[in-house]
């Protein structure tokens, strides 16, 4: 009977599986014989504390879930035992206190009863970590919350994949769906993270939403909400941070860096930087809302390949020299293509030196088109050292800006056409370059 019940639960999906296991657990506790030990429990040397619950239910291994914020049982050992001997772990309603980080073995899934009634609550430690996996999943976390200590969260991470510069340390096929993470320095931090997705999650009261580090490839973040906790300080808070860190050392030991990253349909509120990416190959930032950013909405630094930023809504507030979208040097300019189109970018309280779109330091092959910009003081669109650049059909509405479009030290062909400009246009060639060839120009 046990094998058929677990198999049926696996076919029902996360929410239904949780309800199914809970109903069967209730039936077992009402007088039916207990569930016998499994071979997986025997192999892991785990003994059931209460066999009235089916394998996979954390209560079977002694978890109580009675933490009230000040007192309650430490469920660390019970939760880890459940993870060590089950393919699917079920979290019933409750608050499960932990005192050490839990490690999720490869291909193990955690299914909760819902993030509003079910939470893992690390106290002065990180929350969950993934073991390396050689194949692609499935490892899915769904339907629960990870809640840190509101009074001591300055350095801890909700879900972490430590990784390394060794590609063999990859974690593959991870899916985070409908997971809530609150009161941490960083909600999710991953390194050497492949073929994985974060979808429908909520991260509140965090300094960083998601960090994607090292050689992390084919990662998507979709339909998530991230809200910053600026009580931890200003200056570096970032909704999504993508960075190669020390794993990228071209010409020396390694060329490992993030590749093929997709961010779409996310709501990111109150961070200093909405999205910041450095040393990334191919990144797409699409259909996001980045609100109340104090320094930049989207910043791409030394990113190569095809970088696409389109249909984002960006609002900047309260910072000096704020910038809606900023692109700074690429390491292989000739191989890079930038598409910045159809974004709405507004500064609601910008100070001197702010600009809507800034493309700097020898960027080539840029297409800036269909954007709407307002509220900036230096320029709506600023380019420096640009070549093969098209600025088309933008609405540059900043009346206080020194220039609607300002191209400094231009080095090659540019196309300007169909732009609405509330202020002046200035084109300034580089000292060692001929005047930029304006293929088409209409003020």
Report the Cα 392 to chain-centroid distance in Å.
31
**Residue 337's CB: how many other CB atoms inside 10 A?**
15
Computed over every residue of the chain, the mean pLDDT equals 84
The pLDDT value given to residue 171 = 86
Strand partners, 120: 96, 146
For 267, the token pair is 């709501």
Helices (H) and strands (E) in the chain, counts: 4, 38
Confidence class for position 168, pLDDT limits 50, 70, 90: confident
Strand partners, 231: none
* pTM, two decimal places: 0.87
* Residue range 126-157, pLDDT digits in tens: 999 988 876 666 689 999 999 998 876 568 99
Distance, in Å, from the CA atom of 284 to the CA atom of 312, rounded to the nearest integer, reads 11
* The pLDDT of residue 32 is above 60: no
The pLDDT value given to residue 103 = 95
Mean pLDDT within 172-201 = 94
Query: 138: cis peptide before it, omega within 30°?
Result: yes
* Residue range 55-85, pLDDT digits in tens: 999 999 999 999 998 999 999 999 999 999 9
């Amino acid at each position: 009977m046990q094998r058929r019940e677990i198999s049926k639960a696996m076919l029902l999906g996360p929410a239904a599986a949780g309800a199914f296991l809970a109903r069967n657990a209730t039936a077992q506790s009402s007088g039916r014989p207990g569930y016998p030990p499994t071979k997986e429990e025997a192999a892991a040397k785990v003994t059931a504390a209460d066999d009235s619950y089916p394998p996979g239910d954390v209560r079977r291994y002694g978890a109580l879930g009675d933490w009230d914020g000040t007192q309650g049982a430490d469920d660390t050992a019970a939760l880890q035992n459940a993870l060590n001997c089950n393919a699917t772990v079920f979290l019933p309603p409750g608050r499960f206190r932990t005192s050490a980080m839990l490690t999720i073995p490869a291909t193990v899934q955690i299914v909760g009863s819902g993030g509003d009634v079910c939470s893992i609550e690390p106290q002065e430690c990180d929350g969950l970590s993934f073991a390396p996996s050689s194949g692609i999943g499935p490892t899915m976390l769904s339907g629960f919350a990870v809640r840190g200590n509101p009074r001591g969260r300055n350095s801890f991470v909700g879900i972490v994949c430590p990784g390394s510069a060794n590609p063999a340390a990859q974690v593959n096929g991870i899916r985070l769906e409908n997971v809530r993470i609150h009161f941490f320095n960083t909600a999710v931090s991953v390194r050497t993270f492949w073929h994985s997705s974060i979808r429908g999650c909520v991260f509140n009261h965090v300094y960083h939403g998601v960090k994607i580090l090292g050689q992390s490839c084919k990662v998507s973040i979709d339909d998530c909400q991230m809200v910053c906790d600026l009580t931890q300080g200003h200056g570096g808070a970032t909704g999504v941070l993508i960075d190669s860190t020390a794993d990228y050392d071209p010409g020396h030991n390694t060329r490992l860096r993030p590749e093929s990253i997709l961010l779409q349909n996310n709501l990111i509120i109150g961070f200093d930087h909405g999205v910041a990416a450095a040393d990334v190959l191919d990144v797409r930032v699409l259909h996001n809302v980045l609100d109340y950013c104090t320094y930049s909405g989207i910043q791409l630094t030394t990113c190569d390949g095809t970088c696409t930023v389109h249909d984002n809504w960006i609002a900047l507030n309260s910072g000096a020299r704020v910038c809606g979208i900023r692109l700074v040097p690429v390491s292989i300019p000739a191989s890079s293509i930038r598409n910045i189109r159809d974004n709405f970018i507004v500064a609601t309280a910008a100070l001197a030196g702010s600009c809507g779109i800034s493309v700097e330091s020898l960027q080539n092959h840029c297409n800036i088109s269909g954007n709407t910009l307002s509220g900036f003081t230096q320029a709506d669109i600023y380019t420096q050292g640009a070549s093969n650049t098209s600025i088309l059909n933008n609405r540059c509405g900043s009346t206080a800006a020194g220039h609607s479009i300002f191209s400094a030290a231009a080095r090659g062909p540019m196309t300007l056409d169909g732009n609405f400009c509330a202020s002046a246009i200035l084109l300034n060639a580089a000292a060692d370059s001929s005047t930029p060839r304006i293929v088409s120009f209409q003020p």
